[in-house]
Amino acid sequence: MKLQVLLHSQHRNPEGLAKVRQASAALGIRPTAQGEATISADVDEQTYKSIFGEDPATQDVSFESGSLPIPESLKEYVQSISIAPLHIYMDRKR
């Protein structure tokens, strides 16, 4: 499962990003990329269930529908966590 983590504005700096990456990794969320305000991450199904309380296949939470619950260890730094939208390829060959 691919996630997008948006940091609170006051933590959108190298120190805040590092703290969120570290706290996310401790939860089993694997950061894969970052920008100035967000971190992209992967999480396996079992870890997703343990963190967010539901099976991602049955949970009605998508990029369009809103944010997932923010784990306590991330609340100080994170504004929202959402399921990343699927990539839409413009090239029909894919």
Looking at the domain assignment, is residue 62 inside a domain?
yes
Looking at the domain assignment, is residue 30 inside a domain?
yes
Q: Note the pLDDT tens digit of each residue in 6-31.
A: 999 999 999 999 999 999 999 999 99
Looking at the domain assignment, is residue 91 inside a domain?
no
Looking at the domain assignment, is residue 88 inside a domain?
no
pLDDT range class, residue 53, cuts 50, 70, 90: confident
Overall number of domains in the chain:
1
Looking at the domain assignment, is residue 7 inside a domain?
yes
Q: Note the pLDDT tens digit of each residue in 59-82.
A: 655 545 568 999 999 999 999 998
Looking at the domain assignment, is residue 71 inside a domain?
yes
Q: What is the pTM of this model?
A: 0.82
pLDDT range class, residue 83, cuts 50, 70, 90: confident
Q: Higher confidence at residue 92 or residue 12?
A: 12
Counting beta carbons within 10 angstroms of the beta carbon of residue 93, is it exposed (0 to 12), middle (13 to 18) or buried (19 or more)?
exposed
Give the domain extent around 43.
2-83
